[in-house]
Structure 1
Amino acid sequence: MRYGWSLDCELWRNLRNHIQNTQWTELPFITPSVAVAPPLPGTYLIVARPPLNGHNVLEQLRTPLYVGHTQNLRRRMREHLKRRAHLFLTFGTGRLLFCYSTAPTVPIARTIEQSLISAFGPPDNSRASIRVVAGAPIPAGRPLSRRTP
């Protein structure tokens, strides 16, 4: 799995096409913000600013750590705040954001989610990685043989 921003122009064009008519809202990733998030379907990102004090240009950088879609943005934000305590230990309070865009349907939110994952390669997305490789490796150039049980 590739983590980090893609260098493939096609992935960025695809993302641009999927988000061209979306509006995004940014909330501090803290418990009081949950009440502001709408109970609607949508796509969201958990975004971090680096924990660097006194490095003005670097402190302005932002990186998506996680991308998801949901039927209910408010509920999902609440769940992430409970499960992602490790992010607060790494980045500190005030450096994490919950950015979201509502969607008319979950399938539309899922399409936007996949485009965001492909372009940004967020490190906390398990869907973006291969978890299991079945079978023994086959050396390059060797034909696959039919195995009998």
Structure 2
Amino acid sequence: MATTIGKLAARQVDSLPEGFHSDGGNLYLRVKGGSRAWVYRFKDKGRVRELGLGSVTVRTLKAARELAAEMRSAYADGRDPAELLRDDAKPLGMTFKQCAEALIEAKRPGWRNAKHAQQWANTLRDYAYPSLGDKAPSEVSLADVK
């Protein structure tokens, strides 16, 4: 029997309760505490393996599905799907501003209207970007946001 892929809708991603939610095709959304992360789960030589694909704030549902499809293909070809993550793990070198803009774009499908995204963008532009915009996220300290 064929596996149904695409069970989750983008709007659901931000509202699902705690648990392990299947999108089909070995892709799952793990909701635990305040975090939501994509997981690729598969059986390899009789044991279950789980590979983290990243947070929903970093990887959209569409991007997670595409990566899961690549991983299924790699596994079918006899390759380890984890190799795709190692290739993808190059440093991004993103600034706080770039990360914030990526977050807004990732969350946009779940928001009810464009005004919400614009409010986020305006608030960050007016209050955060002047002092934090050019810093690497890892360099932002508690003192920077007080």
User: TM-score when scaled to structure 1?
Assistant: 0.23
RCO comparison, higher one (Cα < 8 Å, 6+) = 1
TM-score, normalised to structure 2, is 0.23
| Structure exhibiting the larger radius of gyration computed from Cα positions | 1
- Write 1 or 2 for the structure with the bigger share of helix: 2
